[in-house]
């Protein structure tokens, strides 16, 4: 990517080799997701915004899984393997070895610090260059510093070193200014001092943070830049911090769409993934999850209690109390309440998928309605169709899936079963309770239920003395009197 780099003097190293023990997870920490993206994906997205000469990502734990996610998020990144020497210092050292001729600035980012934005990092790099420091450390003042490295300043307020929680004295641990885990180094100074960092500490690791103390001892200029937004400096080490990071990111995303013109009634219960898009004048009601690459067009009303994954919701459509994945909803269409739309559902303009309806891999044409209690799978429905309550497409015969094809302007009776493969011609009708096993020609009425038989006097004969028998007897004699008059 060097030919497109806007900043050829900058290289970014992203640390993603750790296991993330405190997550207690089979999944590597940096692959846990917030806003629909892995933690490391957020960090890479931010790194890209700086357009550096190169982005290197250090991996080790579950390296194939992590490398795959890294290359999906940043195809131009260089994946570097850490060896068995543990620690953030070793991770950076291994990456630096890939950059031997590089003499610019090195921005180090942690794969588990996902909320910093491009502006904050650009400002850090600019500050570093203006001051001419050998390192500029990003710090934050936090209420609870537990787990973080502490910034130790001398009596003149200058940065002297960083001490890890596990190595800190009680006095040091009481410092509330923490190391965010993001730094800019001059490449030469970093290379020279990393080489002499040891592992004599509580965790037996080669700490990147020890470089700071060594630079101080070498009397090289150092700077600290305090993050204006401490929340953005949050490091994710356990599930509680993961949830906190997700909440902060979501609050930002919700606010961004509000400022773009979306009405979002309840930010606390509305979850929007970073890749989703909302047009102006969309309304989102409480308890709604807008996930993946979902796009919602202007005037649509979504929610309450709705979950959309990778869906397209057309202009002015209404989606209430629905769960939908990979569904396309046309302009002016209506979905729910209580609808389940599975992948491949396409509802055309002004169509309706109503209450207690499940759909899958089906196209429902313009203005067509499936209003109540139905399953529509592997089906093509034309325009102007109304499926009566309780319509079921029996698409599976134990061996394979088959399609049901319903033409334009078809009206089906209540409680029909369409046994696929089957075709219903344009304008055809079906009777209530019909089981449609054979194609119905255009314009025909299909009936499959045996004619109704009424057995006169059955209740009086078989249930004598009951209330039903009494009222039936009265009604029948009144009827006789009527007939006689």
Q: 3-state SS string over 145-164? A: CCCCCEEEECCCCCEEEEEC
Report the nearest approach of ligand UD1 to the CB of residue 124 (Å): 15
Q: For ligand UD1, which stretch binds (CB under 6 A), given 9-17, 252-260, 400-408, 434-442? A: 9-17
Which residues contact residue 310 at a Cβ distance below 8 angstroms, ignoring those fewer than 6 apart? 291, 292, 293, 294, 325, 326
Residue found by looking up tokens 């003499």 in the block:
103
Strands 334-335 and 352-360: parallel
Would you give the binding string for ligand UD1 spanning residues 15-54, x where CB under 6 A is met?
xxxx-----------x------------------------
208 binds ligand UD1 (CB under 6 A): yes
Residue 80: name the closest of 94, 69, 70 by CA. Answer: 94
Q: Does 237 bind ligand UD1 (CB under 6 A)?
A: yes
Give CA–CA dist 419/421, Å, rounded. Answer: 6
Angstrom distance (rounded) from CA 314 to CA 298: 8
Q: Smallest distance, Å, CB 147 to Ca ion? A: 7
The total of other beta-carbon atoms located within 10 Å of residue 178's CB is 25
Residue of minimal CB distance from Ca ion?
Answer: 235
Is residue 372 annotated as part of the catalytic site, yes or no?
Answer: yes
Dmax (CA) for the chain in angstroms is 121
Mask of contacts with ligand UD1, 79-108, x by CB under 6 A?
Answer: ---x---xxx-xx-----------------
129-137, 201-209, 385-393, 459-467 -> range binding ligand UD1 (CB under 6 A): 201-209
Strands 105-110 and 177-186: antiparallel
Piece in contact with ligand UD1 (CB under 6 A), picked from 179-187, 262-270, 306-314, 454-462 = 179-187
Are the C-beta atoms of 328 and 312 separated by less than 8 Å?
Answer: yes
Residue with tokens 């993050």: 227
How far CA 101 is from CA of 1, 9, 108, 187, in Å, comes to 16, 12, 18, 10
Q: Tell me if residue 464 falls in helix, strand or coil.
A: coil
Asked whether position 148 contacts ligand UD1 by CB under 6 A, the answer is yes
208, interface contact from Ca ion, ligand UD1, none, CB < 5-8 Å by kind: ligand UD1
Residue 149 engages ligand UD1 in binding (rule: CB under 6 A): yes
Is there binding between residue 207 and ligand UD1 (CB under 6 A)? yes
* Out of 70, 106, 107, 162, the residue judged to bind ligand UD1 by CB under 6 A: 162
Note the residues at the interface with Ca ion (CB under 5 A). Answer: 112, 235, 237
Please provide the size of the chain in residues: 485
**3-state class (DSSP) for residue 413:** coil
Of residues 61, 372, 402, 411, which has the active-site annotation? 372
Give how far the C-alpha of residue 70 lies from the chain's centroid of Cα atoms, to the nearest Å.
17
Whole-number Å distance between alpha carbons of 419 and 409: 20
Residue 166 to residues 202, 203, 215, 239, Cα–Cα distance (Å): 6, 8, 22, 20
Residue among 113, 116, 215, 272 that touches ligand UD1 (CB under 6 A): 113
Taking CB under 6 A as the criterion, the residue among 44, 124, 159, 178 binding ligand UD1 is 178
Asked if 376 and 364 count as a contact pair (C-beta separation under 8 A), the reply is yes
Q: Which does 86 bind (CB under 5 to 8 A by kind): ligand UD1, Ca ion, none?
A: ligand UD1
What's the chain's Rg over C-alpha atoms? 33
What is the nearest approach in angstroms of Ca ion to the Cβ of residue 91? 12
- By a kind-dependent CB cut-off of 5 to 8 A, residue 409 interacts, out of ligand UD1, Ca ion, none, with none
Nearer to Ca ion, 32 or 423 (CB): 32
CB burial class (10 A; 0-12, 13-18, 19+) of residue 171? exposed
Chosen from Ca ion, ligand UD1, none, partner binding at 368 (C-beta under 5 to 8 Å by type): none
The pair of three-digit structure tokens given for residue 150, joined into one six-digit string: 């502490």
Q: Is 282 within 8 Å of 317 (Cβ atoms)?
A: no
Q: Which does 330 bind (CB under 5 to 8 A by kind): Ca ion, ligand UD1, none?
A: none
Residues 245-274 that bind ligand UD1 (CB under 6 A): none
Judged by CB under 6 A, how many residues of this single chain contact ligand UD1? Answer: 29
* Min separation Cβ 273 and ligand UD1, Å: 22
Picked from Ca ion, ligand UD1, none, the partner binding residue 54 (CB below 5 to 8 A depending on kind) is none
Which residue of 62, 93, 105, 164 would you call a contact of ligand UD1, by CB under 6 A? 164
Q: Which residues of the shown chain bind ligand UD1 in the complex (CB under 6 A)?
A: 15-18, 30, 58, 82, 86-88, 90-91, 110-113, 148-149, 162, 164, 178-181, 207-209, 235, 237
Active site residues: 372
């Amino acid at each position: 990517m060097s030919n497109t780099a806007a900043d050829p003097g900058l290289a970014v190293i992203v640390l993603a080799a750790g296991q993330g023990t405190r997550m207690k997870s089979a999944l590597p920490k940096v692959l846990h997701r917030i806003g629909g993206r892995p933690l490391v994906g957020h960090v890479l997205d931010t790194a890209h915004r700086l357009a550096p000469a190169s982005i290197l990502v250090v991996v080790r734990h579950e390296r194939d899984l992590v490398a795959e996610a890294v290359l999906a998020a940043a195809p131009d990144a260089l994946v570097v393997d850490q060896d068995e020497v543990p620690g953030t210092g070793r991770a950076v050292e291994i990456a630096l070895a890939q950059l031997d001729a590089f003499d610019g600035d090195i921005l180090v980012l942690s794969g588990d610090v996902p909320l910093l934005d491009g502006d904050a990092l650009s400002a850090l790099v600019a500050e570093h260059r203006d001051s001419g420091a050998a390192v500029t450390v990003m710090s934050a003042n936090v209420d609870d510093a537990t787990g973080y490295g502490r910034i130790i300043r001398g009596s003149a307020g200058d940065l002297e070193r960083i001490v890890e929680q596990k190595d800190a004295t009680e006095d040091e641990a009481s410092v509330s200014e923490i190391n965010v885990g993001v730094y800019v180094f001059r490449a030469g100074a970093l290379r020279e001092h990393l080489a002499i960092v040891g592992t004599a500490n509580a965790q037996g690791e080669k700490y990147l943070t020890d470089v700071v103390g060594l630079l101080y001892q070498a009397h090289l200029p150092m700077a600290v830049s305090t993050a204006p937004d401490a929340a953005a400096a949050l490091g994710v080490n356990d599930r509680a911090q993961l949830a906190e990071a997700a909440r902060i990111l979501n609050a930002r995303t919700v606010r961004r769409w509000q400022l773009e013109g979306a009405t979002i009634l309840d930010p606390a219960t509305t979850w929007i993934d970073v890749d989703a898009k909302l047009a102006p004048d969309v309304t989102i009601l409480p308890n709604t999850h807008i996930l993946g690459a979902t796009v919602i067009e202007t005037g649509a009303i979504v929610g309450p209690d709705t979950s959309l994954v990778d869906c397209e919701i057309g202009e002015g459509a209404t989606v209430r109390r629905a769960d939908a994945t990979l569904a396309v909803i046309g302009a002016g269409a209506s979905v729910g309440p209580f609808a389940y739309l599975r992948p491949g559902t396409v509802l055309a303009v002004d169509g309706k998928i109503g209450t207690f309806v499940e759909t899958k891999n089906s196209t429902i044409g313009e203005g067509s309605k499936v209003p109540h209690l139905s399953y529509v799978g592997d089906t093509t429905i034309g325009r102007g169709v109304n499926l009566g309550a309780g319509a079921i497409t029996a698409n599976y015969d134990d061996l394979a899936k088959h399609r049901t094809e319903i033409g334009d302007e078809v009206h089906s009776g209540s409680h029909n079963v369409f046994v696929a493969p089957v075709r219903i011609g344009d304008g055809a009708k079906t009777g209530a309770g019909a089981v449609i096993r054979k194609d119905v020609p255009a314009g025909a009425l299909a009936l499959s239920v045996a004619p109704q038989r009424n057995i006169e006097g059955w209740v009086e004969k078989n249930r004598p003395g009951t209330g039903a028998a009494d009222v039936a007897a009265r009604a029948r004699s009144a009827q006789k009197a009527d007939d006689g008059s």
